[in-house]
Amino acid sequence: MAPGACATAIVDLRQWHPWREESWSLLDASERQRAGQRRFADDREALALTYALHRLFVARSLGLAPDAFAIGRDSEGAPHLPGIALHGRTVHTSLSHADGVAAFALCALGPVGIDIEAAFRAAELPGIASSVCHPSELESLANFAEPARSRALLALWVRKEALLKAEGVGLAREMCSFRAAAGAEFFLAGSTREIPAACSVRLAMLDVGERWTAAVAAPREAAVECLHLHPLMDPPAGRSAGGRSLYLS
């Protein structure tokens, strides 16, 4: 990862199902506990894959071994990388997962937040529009006809989720209390974790195809890169255990 980049990655978890059991071996004790607490087996496996792939994404991006660093979690459950730096700057990370997809972000220029949702979720949002939208955003959305209105509302949702993750406040700040236009810049404050002075982020939608909607809140000077991660079906000779292993292509 370049020092001035915000690296983001999208993963279709269904492509990684053959590695469901192997993914657990990459998790630390707290991650195994969190994943194991999910009620349904499919949810447990999806979360284990998400945590494993997030670790591999961070390791590959920073040139580290997957077991060479710890991934901590704050009171909101958001990941952070204690003791990890790039060219003397703290590395920040974020993840999101929903409906068989995961998204990761990594940046050394300042806090970062990412959010992704399945496109079909747009149909569920009109009923809570007043809780998501600032009054001026509600007024703007009134000019859209369906299904464009619901799609615009979903895009607004993921931008606000990404911003709240970057700020580190989770849902403690009501979405309807602020506007979140694509490309808008925000100064971060009121975080549950340390934020550099005068740190600001810019909101950007990610090109993730028609099946999903995703956004990232990244430092304004960061060059946002978006990758789609796929399994390497034929690992290099001598690096596969039992005929297969967990790799990023």
pLDDT at 234 over 90: no
Structure confidence by residue, pLDDT tens digits, 33-60: 999 999 999 999 999 999 999 999 999 9
Average pLDDT over residues 71-80: 86
pLDDT for position 91: 95
- Selected residue with higher pLDDT from 236 and 47: 47
pLDDT at 123 over 70: yes
Structure confidence by residue, pLDDT tens digits, 169-224: 766 688 999 999 999 999 886 554 555 555 789 999 999 989 999 999 999 999 99
Average pLDDT across the chain, whole number: 88
pLDDT for position 199: 79
- Domain locations along the chain: 5-229
pLDDT for position 192: 47
pLDDT for position 242: 43
pLDDT at 67 over 80: yes
Q: Provide DSSP, the chain.
A: --TTEEEEEEEEGGGGGGGHHHHGGGS-HHHHHHHHT-SSHHHHHHHHHHHHHHHHHHHHHHT--TTSS--EE-TT--EE-TT-EETTEE-EEEEEEETTEEEEEEESSS--EEEEEEGGGGGGSGGGHHHHS-HHHHHHHTTPPTTHHHHHHHHHHHHHHHHHHHHT-GGGS-GGGS---TT-EEE--S-SS---TT-EEEEEEE---TTEEEEEEEETT-EEEEEEE-B-SSPPTT--BTTB---B-
Q: Give the CATH number of domain 5-229; options: 3.30.2010.30, 3.90.470.20, 3.40.50.300, 3.40.30.10.
A: 3.90.470.20
pLDDT for position 240: 45
Structure confidence by residue, pLDDT tens digits, 125-168: 989 999 999 999 999 999 899 999 999 999 999 999 999 999 88
pLDDT at 77 over 90: no
**Residue 3 binned pLDDT confidence (cut-offs 50, 70, 90):** confident
